[in-house]
Amino acid sequence: MSTWMKFILALSLAIALTGAWWLGRFSAGSTAPAAASVDPTDARDILYYRNPMGLADTSAVPKKDSMGMDYIPVYADQAPMAPGSVALTPEKVQRLGVQTAPATRTRLAQTVRASATVEVDETKQFVVAPRFEGWIETLYANQTGLAVKRGQTLAALYSPELFAALEEARIAEAAAAKLDATDPSSAATMRRLRDASRTRLSNWQVSDAALDAAGKGRLLLKAPANAVVVEKLVVQGDRFEPGQTILRLADLSTVWVVANVPAGQLGRLAVGDAATFTTPSAPGREFAGQVTFLEPILDRASRSVRVRIALANADGVLRPGLFGDALLTSTPGEPSIVVPRSAILDSGTRQIALVEVGPGRFEPREVRLGARSGDRVAVLDGLRDGETVVTYGNFLIDAESNLGAAMQGMSHGAQSAVDTGAETNHSGHDDTASATKGNATRDAADQGTPSPAHSNHGEAN
């Protein structure tokens, strides 16, 4: 062996020994026992210490990990943690601002908020349409929106047909009175004529007061109720036909509020449920009423159902056409587990609640949700009455849990990679040795020089 080769071997050996010494010192330093954050007043028995990052590494004595973090003690009274669970120190719980609330069994009334519009109560609309022919001599209700009282004069009419029937009845009555003594048969005929004229007037729905006014030369139309003129279809002097609408009136002492509720939110809404309505036009006021009707047909364009609410409107603040918001509250159903909505982590495909199973110990639970009401939601499966759920800070705890699971998965993956690499390296050494030996034999054959095996054989001969 040449001097140069001896120097290379000596240098390699020195480097290997130095590296082994430094590696041993680093390993000893990282596994040296260290003071973990253990409460000296806690008398519970410590089973072992676990890795603070959730790695599959435990220690019988306090120690620190490679990043200088204390291993966390696991006490004898702590049950094994479920997959995905996370344990936090009291300091970390306080730093994250974790807040909790109990899951309670109660009756949950579903609430639905929807946009709504004030409309006229269809059951309190009136049409003024004379059943006879005539002309409008004077139109007193001469503008849309005019408020009228019951019995107030709306218009003065002239009708030759009506006055003819009225005069015929009067003449027949007078003739019958004169003929009673001299010609009873003719008197009876006159009374039949009088009755026919009165029947005709009755069919025209002309009141006695209107007939009295008609006897003075004109017929007065009166308002049937306290109402507002919502439509005026004639002007003064117009001629009208039998049955033609002159005015449309609406009683606004009660109005309808129609809420457009999405089909998916109908839930348990039913006739008789309580409802409130608010509008920017009446700031600070809330109008209470009841659901009176749910339309059976779904609107194809908006995919919503019109829900009708009846509201009192004595002061006339709720004008038809106003927009606002309706809040509908259904009758409470059967008791169920109820938690704040902030306690639910929704990934889109499943819903998770973080349950506090011990001081600083949190376990994720998959839950199945039911009806929602305001900031509360019913849990159909996954929680028990009295369990404590995290309502604030659950996103941070969930991130901690996912980080621990990811680190544990990385640890297992790294160990598998190391094992696979070791097997590959061993087989690689064997293959390299075989390849080197084969190459040496081929080189010797190409140069006409016997291989070592052949050379030895030749010397023996």
Q: Where are the alpha helices (DSSP H) in 205-305?
A: 208-214
**At 434, which helix (H) or strand (E)?**
helix 394-447
Q: Is the pLDDT of residue 298 over 70?
A: yes
Lateral strand order in the sheet of 247-250: 125-128, 247-250, 227-232, 147-148
- Torsion angles phi and psi, residue 261, rounded to 5: -95, 125
The residue with tokens 């009192």 is 312
Q: Is the pLDDT of residue 428 over 60?
A: no
Is there a domain that residue 97 lies in? Answer: yes
pLDDT band at 435 (very low <50, low <70, confident <90, very high): very low
pLDDT in tens, 334-363: 889 999 999 998 888 889 998 988 888 888
pLDDT band at 76 (very low <50, low <70, confident <90, very high): low
pLDDT band at 82 (very low <50, low <70, confident <90, very high): low
Is there a domain that residue 228 lies in? Answer: yes
pLDDT band at 307 (very low <50, low <70, confident <90, very high): very high
Q: Based on the structure, what is the number of domains in the chain?
A: 4
Bridge partner residues of 221 (DSSP): 155
Distance CA 162, CA 204 (A): 9
Distance CA 159, CA 365 (A): 83
Is there a domain that residue 427 lies in? Answer: no
Is there a domain that residue 258 lies in? Answer: yes
Domain that holds residue 45: 34-78
Residue 304's CATH number: 2.40.30.170
Distance CA 452, CA 284 (A): 107
Is there a domain that residue 91 lies in? Answer: yes
pLDDT in tens, 231-243: 999 999 999 999 9
pLDDT at position 21: 57
Is there a domain that residue 295 lies in? Answer: yes
Q: What mean pLDDT comes out for the span 278-289?
A: 94
Q: Is the pLDDT of residue 415 over 60?
A: no
The residue with tokens 């006879």 is 132
**At 73, which helix (H) or strand (E)?**
strand 72-75
Residues 96 and 116 placed together within one structural domain of the fold: no
pLDDT at position 56: 67
Spatial contact of 352 and 364, defined as CB atoms under 8 Å apart? yes
Question: Ranked by mean pLDDT, which of 69-78, 171-180, 319-328 comes out on top?
Answer: 319-328
pLDDT in tens, 355-401: 988 888 888 889 999 888 778 899 999 999 999 999 998 777 767 66
Residues 264 and 235 placed together within one structural domain of the fold: no
pLDDT in tens, 19-64: 655 555 444 444 444 444 556 666 677 877 888 876 767 788 888 8
DSSP assignments along 130-187, one per residue: -SS-EEEEEESS-STT-EE-TT-EEEEEE-HHHHHHHHHHHHHHHHHHHHTTT-HHHH
